[in-house]
Structure 1
Amino acid sequence: MTVIVRDLRPDVRADLDSFVQVRRVVLPFMVFTPESVAFDIAHAHPEAALRRLVAEEDGEIIGTAQVGIAYDSPEPGQGFVNVHVHPEHTRRGAGGLLVRTAEEHLAGANATRLHAWVLDDPANRAFAEHFGYTASRSARFLRLDLAHGTLPPLQGPPLDVEIRPGSDFDADPRPLFSLDAEASRDEPSDIETEFSDYEAWLDETWRHPLFSAELTSVAVVDGRPAAFSAVRADGGTRYFTAMTGTARAHRGRGLAKLAKNDSLHRARAAGYTEAFTGNDAGNEPMLAINRWFGYEICAAEVRYVRELT
């Protein structure tokens, strides 16, 4: 049996379905659809050097790789390569071929440092270390049973705060862009993020097919967004908190918790049964908030880093 690596064909539905199927098996705590994968490719920023690779064995897709440059980092040359192989098809060379193909592409795109998220188990960690990657920070994925769990009751906001759905900003989402940019700068990460391209943010966040402005909640103070909980959802039963943050001037008031609670209650009312989120292992304030909601850790990842010479 022969394994080959090639680019995903976003105009071929069977490719998209197989790509998503592999990722759902390996990463059941994340939310994506064939449409969202095709959208990501079609709307990738030119400087991202984005590629979606697949490993194919006798016509069957058994592995995937997400590869690109973190173009929104102020430090140039930060590449990423996230490789996943279907657990029933490991040890056939697919992972190694995906890594080597990805690294060649990123070297050609002037990457100087590569970052890879690896599931925190001995086999995956050994695989990353075999290719010269060194463990860095870790992250946790969390799950909340919306169908059978008990959410904290809704709380009324302070008199100077209004909780509004993100869809209220459809006519002009720029204030949410500014808030997202400010909050993201303080997110723990190996790769510093600096949102400065509003049009790119509209493409990659606001107009993304998974983004739900209706389920996103925003805490507004004096007419300006002060905290938010942004949501991606599959339109069926699965809900994912993509980002929760607060403007620096309004931190310490519990506004992010208010926004997220509002969003979770509306998601449950809309029929969503599972809520997922992810947090850096060092982000104890957000982990504490999620424990308060009833989230439980369902998986862990480790960020591995390799310098390119």
Structure 2
Amino acid sequence: MTFTVRSLRPDDPWDAESCAAVRRAAIPYLVCTAETLAWQLAHGAAGQRLHRFVAERPDGTVAGCIEAGLVAGSTEPGQGFVHTAVAPGATGRGAGSALVAAGEAYLAGLGVRRVLSWVADAECAARFAAHRGYARSRQARFLGLELRRAAFPALPDPLPAGVTLHRVAEFTHDLRPLYEADTECSADEPGAVPVGRTRFPEWLRHNWQRPDWNAELSSVVLVDGQVAAYSVAQTDGVDRYWSGMTGTRRAFRGRGLARLAKLAALRRARAAGYAHAYTGNDADNAPMLAVNRRLGYTEVATEWRCVKRL
């Protein structure tokens, strides 16, 4: 089949929804909405230079999409990414190849020398990536939890001395303490690209002004008035919940505070009517994988971070 590869039209609601539908079908354990896709193109980090292409069938329907851009905040210049999704019924017909070629050409024009991509841990996906010069680097595990059937423990009552539990919505007048905690925790996360400190205005826009991040469900744990741990909620407004980031500051680790923050967020998500919870961790992030499994998450998918030199 012949596909036409073109830029996604962010002001076209049908175009954004078609792209989001492909991503939901191809990667069902991620939260993706048309509103967020359009918002990212219009308001995302300027340094990312994000661009999206779609592969269009002759009848005008979208068979696949790709996003390409620079790794924002990377301390190494020339780092870029491509993330490809093809509708399950359209694989093996050339849409993925055409999209990757378009994404790589766009990155080459930005001076990218090293491209990163997430590739499913499946034989066909591995062959596709290897044939195009991508080599496996790091592994990530995606875990899922059916909220309506989850046997969550009750929240501790009373909480340990000095510990208080809050919603992020209570802190929207001043999110800088959460920014400092997130910056510290993110620096300790295993990853393929070293990333420097993000400036507060950029962090605020990327984390709390995008439409799918939910301050009402997100949790913050304070110890003696200081932000000690947190769990960020991302939702599709329908039935799907994603843990965007959960972390504990170094001085407070080993006390079960990340689990407390995440448990509170999950319980609120269930009460709000969300049915499916997902999260993802680097395969080497043993502490967080252990927290998630204790909460009842089970593995639903594995992906590889793959790297190519342009």
Please give the alpha-carbon distance, in whole angstroms, between the structure 2 residues aligned to 1:195 and 1:244. Answer: 18
Specify the SS of the correspondent of 1:302: strand
CA-based RMSD of the aligned residues comes to 1.1
Query: Which of 201, 208, 211 is residue 210 of structure 2 equivalent to?
Result: 208
- What is the CA-CA distance between 1:91 and the residue it aligns to? 2.1
- Which residue pairs with 1:180 in the alignment? 182
Specify the SS of the correspondent of 2:31: coil
1:10-54 Cα deviation digits (max 9, x unpaired) = 111110111011101111111111111111111122221110111
- What is the CA-CA distance between 1:107 and the residue it aligns to? 1.3
Question: What is the TM-score when the length of structure 2 is the normalising length?
Answer: 0.97
Please give the alpha-carbon distance, in whole angstroms, between the structure 2 residues aligned to 1:125 and 1:161. Answer: 46
Question: What is the TM-score when the length of structure 1 is the normalising length?
Answer: 0.97
Specify the SS of the correspondent of 1:214: strand
- What is the CA-CA distance between 1:219 and the residue it aligns to? 0.7
- What is the CA-CA distance between 1:117 and the residue it aligns to? 0.1
Please give the alpha-carbon distance, in whole angstroms, between the structure 2 residues aligned to 1:293 and 1:154. Answer: 12
- Which residue pairs with 1:302 in the alignment? 304
- What is the CA-CA distance between 1:99 and the residue it aligns to? 0.9
Task: Check the 8 A contact 1:184/1:193 in 2, yes or no.
Answer: no
- Which residue pairs with 1:43 in the alignment? 43
1:254-292 Cα deviation digits (max 9, x unpaired) = 111111111111111111111110111111111111110
Name structure 2 gaps, 5 residues minimum.
none
Please give the alpha-carbon distance, in whole angstroms, between the structure 2 residues aligned to 1:46 and 1:256. Answer: 31
Query: Which of 268, 271, 294 is residue 270 of structure 2 equivalent to?
Result: 268
Task: Check the 8 A contact 1:163/1:220 in 2, yes or no.
Answer: yes
- Which residue pairs with 2:238 in the alignment? 236
- Which residue pairs with 1:165 in the alignment? 167
- What is the CA-CA distance between 1:67 and the residue it aligns to? 0.7
Of stretches 26-35 and 89-98 in structure 1, the one that deviates more from structure 2 is 89-98
Please give the alpha-carbon distance, in whole angstroms, between the structure 1 residues aligned to 2:295 and 2:224. Answer: 27
Please give the alpha-carbon distance, in whole angstroms, between the structure 2 residues aligned to 1:224 and 1:74. Answer: 29
- Which residue pairs with 1:73 in the alignment? 74
Please give the alpha-carbon distance, in whole angstroms, between the structure 2 residues aligned to 1:305 and 1:10. Answer: 28
Please give the alpha-carbon distance, in whole angstroms, between the structure 2 residues aligned to 1:296 and 1:16. Answer: 31
Please give the alpha-carbon distance, in whole angstroms, between the structure 2 residues aligned to 1:166 and 1:305. Answer: 36
Please give the alpha-carbon distance, in whole angstroms, between the structure 1 residues aligned to 2:171 and 2:150. Answer: 31
- What is the CA-CA distance between 1:195 and the residue it aligns to? 3.3
Please give the alpha-carbon distance, in whole angstroms, between the structure 1 residues aligned to 2:264 and 2:49. Answer: 37
1:167-195 Cα deviation digits (max 9, x unpaired) = 11110111111111111111111022333
- Which residue pairs with 2:20 in the alignment? 20
Query: Which of 275, 279, 282 is residue 281 of structure 2 equivalent to?
Result: 279
Please give the alpha-carbon distance, in whole angstroms, between the structure 2 residues aligned to 1:270 and 1:71. Answer: 33
Please give the alpha-carbon distance, in whole angstroms, between the structure 1 residues aligned to 2:110 and 2:263. Answer: 42
Within 5 A, what are the aligned runs for 1:191-202?
A: 191-202=193-204
- Which residue pairs with 1:129 in the alignment? 130
One-letter code of the match for 1:10? P
Please give the alpha-carbon distance, in whole angstroms, between the structure 1 residues aligned to 2:209 and 2:218. Answer: 13
One-letter code of the match for 1:283? N
Moved over 6 A (4+): none
Please give the alpha-carbon distance, in whole angstroms, between the structure 2 residues aligned to 1:193 and 1:216. Answer: 24
Please give the alpha-carbon distance, in whole angstroms, between the structure 1 residues aligned to 2:111 and 2:270. Answer: 45
Specify the SS of the correspondent of 2:153: coil
- Which residue pairs with 2:116 in the alignment? 115
- Which residue pairs with 1:151 in the alignment? 152
Task: Check the 8 A contact 1:184/1:194 in 2, yes or no.
Answer: no
- Which residue pairs with 2:106 in the alignment? 105
Task: Check the 8 A contact 1:35/1:209 in 2, yes or no.
Answer: yes
Please give the alpha-carbon distance, in whole angstroms, between the structure 2 residues aligned to 1:23 and 1:274. Answer: 17
Please give the alpha-carbon distance, in whole angstroms, between the structure 1 residues aligned to 2:30 and 2:54. Answer: 19
Task: Check the 8 A contact 1:29/1:276 in 2, yes or no.
Answer: yes
1:215-236 Cα deviation digits (max 9, x unpaired) = 1100112322111001101122
Percent identity, aligned pairs only?
46
Please give the alpha-carbon distance, in whole angstroms, between the structure 1 residues aligned to 2:214 and 2:154. Answer: 22
One-letter code of the match for 1:300? T
Specify the SS of the correspondent of 1:215: strand
Specify the SS of the correspondent of 2:82: strand
